[in-house]
Amino acid sequence: MGQPTQHKPHGTPVPLSGRALQWVDERFPLSSTWKAHVSEYYAPKNFNWWYIFGSLALLVLVIQIVTGIFLVMHYKPDANLAFASVEYIMRDVPWGWLVRYMHSTGASAFFIVVYLHMTKALLYGSYRKPRELLWLFGVGIFLALMAEAFFGYLLPWGQMSFWGAQVIVNLFGAIPFIGPDLSLWIRGDYVVSDATLNRFFSFHVIAIPLILIGLVLAHIVALHEVGSNNPDGIEIKKNKDANGVPLDGIPFHPYYSVHDIFGVSIFLIVFSAVVFFAPEMGGYFLEYNNFIPADPLKTPPHIAPVWYFTPFYSILRATTSQFMYALEVGVIAYVALVVLKTRLAGAVKIGIVIAGAVLLIAMFIFDAKFWGVVLMGVSVLILAALPWLDHSPAKSLRYRPTWHGYIYLVFGIAFLVLGYLGILPPTPGRTIVAQICTFIYFGFFLLMPWWSTMGKFKPVPDRVTFKPH
């Protein structure tokens, strides 16, 4: 006798899409990645609109990459052809004008969104423990973004592109000993020329975007490892239910994904309005001098970088020979403050005094131009030190003394004033205002270990405060 026939149980047939997903999941962690970073990533339930700018920055990055790919198809990185190729894109390539304006507007939009994203971090202490590395990745993104914008600015080969690059590259010549050789190495020639254009094109199209994408991925992975901060500055991972789900968290999808889609819609309306009706934005997004071909024999009457660089450029211009005396007094006062008002070990204090003395001697040896370049660089790099400068008991500005908010306000105004002054030609009066704002800018950071602990703090709740809409 034969064996009895075995009948397989008939279940619900798995659809083709389900079988395809299962096939992929067996070979690549698609579903688990989606769950870990989107559908089962629990974000604080008290997010406000300040938290939209991270998603918007990612959107603008995609816009820049896609439009950049289409521009590269027609652009010629040749000093004799670059300007004409941009005009060809604008006039003869179908929809080329739209792609070019989206790319130029996207550059300014990127910095607007990133500056607002960093403002949120300042207000709510998003750089504090355990997010120090997350913040450092963010500062790295900001530096890469500045490099990307600088290298890309030369590519249209207009008057302002040419002379702006000439001025900025020449700044490296102020560095003692290696400056002239460094400037020559960056340019690839004794003046900004075809060699400079080619290497800037390579960095703008290949090198910096790869670094930028890598840093963005690291930023997102670090964010999802430690969890998102919130307006209360409370760690929601400290309060979980029996299943390990944060009591004050909600899944990113669909709650915040819908929230972000609405914010993206508003952003795209504003972005489209600028692209179609005011792509030059009065000369701030696209300078009028840049619609004139580069002429090495004719210098524009006033050379200034694009608006998003001007706060730091203004710090550079504010560093004059007279300003150096104020800086020397500031160094002496700061060293005295550290020695008298901190509980550091005696050996550390002696080291700080020696470092201050060396710095003062160096201020007498090297000229103001060199120190202007140093201050311009330090004004950006000092952002990386924020997690170790802020000693406030409360992360969020909500629970700090009211007057802390005014310090942030004064700092913000000083930053905006520096940005505005950097666009204008220098005058004695504007230089004095820029010097005052430079002291406010650096004072905000260098004095933070003291002022951030002063005043009467409000009690920080154990759970997030949330009012449903």
Q: End of a domain among 300, 323, 344?
A: 300
Q: Are residues 282 and 261 in the same domain?
A: yes
DSSP 395: S
Residues 396-421: pLDDT tens digits? 999 999 999 999 999 999 999 999 99
Out of 295-304, 359-368, 389-398, pick the least confident.
295-304
Residues 237-256: pLDDT tens digits? 888 888 888 999 999 999 99
Number of domains in the chain: 2
> Mean pLDDT over all residues of the chain?
93
Which phi-psi region, left, alpha or beta, contains residue 404 (left: φ > 0; alpha: ψ -120 to 50)?
A: alpha
Q: What is the pLDDT confidence band of residue 302, given thresholds at 50, 70 and 90?
A: confident
Answer yes or no: is 25 within a domain. no
Answer yes or no: is 107 within a domain. yes
Range of the domain at 115: 30-300
Q: What is the pLDDT confidence band of residue 1, given thresholds at 50, 70 and 90?
A: very low
Specify burial of residue 18 (Cβ count, 10 A radius: 0-12, 13-18, 19+). Answer: exposed
Out of 109-118, 171-180, 369-378, pick the least confident.
171-180
Q: Is 340 helix (H, G, I), strand (E, B) or coil?
A: helix
Residues 333-346: pLDDT tens digits? 999 999 998 888 88
Q: Are residues 146 and 209 in the same domain?
A: yes
What percent of the chain clears pLDDT 70, i.e. is strictly above it?
97
CA distance 425 to 366: 26
Give the pLDDT mean for 374-400. 95
Q: Are residues 290 and 324 in the same domain?
A: no
Query: For the domain that residue 240 is a member of, what is the CATH number?
Result: 1.20.810.10
Q: What is the pLDDT confidence band of residue 11, given thresholds at 50, 70 and 90?
A: low
Q: Are residues 179 and 71 in the same domain?
A: yes
Give the pLDDT mean for 424-442. 95
pLDDT: is 90 or 172 the higher one? 90
What percent of the chain clears pLDDT 90, i.e. is strictly above it?
82
pTM, 2 dp:
0.93
Q: Are residues 292 and 174 in the same domain?
A: yes
Whether the pLDDT of residue 5 is over 60: the answer is no
Q: Are residues 258 and 290 in the same domain?
A: yes
Residues 164-200: pLDDT tens digits? 999 899 888 888 888 899 999 999 988 899 999 999 9
Q: Are residues 377 and 418 in the same domain?
A: yes
Q: Are residues 269 and 375 in the same domain?
A: no
pLDDT recorded at residue 469 = 56
Q: Are residues 335 and 265 in the same domain?
A: no
Whether the pLDDT of residue 16 is over 50: the answer is yes
Closest listed residue to residue 423, CA positions, set 288, 322, 298, 320? 288
Q: Are residues 312 and 434 in the same domain?
A: yes
Q: Are residues 176 and 318 in the same domain?
A: no
Give the pLDDT mean for 377-403. 95
Our measurement of the distance from residue 67's CA atom to the centroid of its chain's CA atoms, rounded to an integer in Å, reads 20
pLDDT: is 85 or 171 the higher one? 85
Answer yes or no: is 218 within a domain. yes
Q: End of a domain among 300, 320, 336?
A: 300
pLDDT recorded at residue 301 = 84
pLDDT recorded at residue 390 = 95
Q: Are residues 277 and 323 in the same domain?
A: no
